[in-house]
Amino acid sequence: MNIEKNDKYTVITPSINNPFTDFYKQFTDKFKDLSNDNLILNLLDTKVSLKELLQFENISANQLENGISFVIMNTAHHLDNIPDEMIVVPTFQEAIDMVEMDEMTRDLDF
């Protein structure tokens, strides 16, 4: 698992050829250390089923409740199948835009 931090967000990318189940375990083990960061999960090059993607639903809802962004990059699933509590976008730029919009919304107390 690769973790890249900057001032506004942290990007987490699974290792190449790492099965999703291994990545998910690594992510949940590390999550406590990252839970205060705006997180972008880069799952663009990871084969992930909708069921596996939905494993992040509770984490996403908790981050949203705590005023912290949680964005997943993935193109494998139609957005109509994704719950409203989850933010799934197809590109890195859209992920950054979502984090920035969330930050602006929080700054304006919406």
Give pLDDT, residue 108. 84
Give pLDDT, residue 106. 80
Q: What is the CATH number of the domain that holds 103?
A: 3.30.750.24
Please list the residues that pair with 39 across neighbouring strands. Answer: 10, 70
CA distance 23 to 79: 22
Please list the residues that pair with 13 across neighbouring strands. Answer: 2
Structural domains of the chain, count: 1
**Rounded alpha-carbon distances, angstroms, from residue 42 to 22, 66, 104, 105, 107:** 15, 21, 22, 23, 26
Question: Residue holding tokens 């993607």?
Answer: 53
pTM: 0.90
Q: What domain range is 66 assigned to? A: 2-107
* pLDDT profile of the chain (110 residues), mean per 10: 94 91 94 93 91 93 91 84 89 96 82
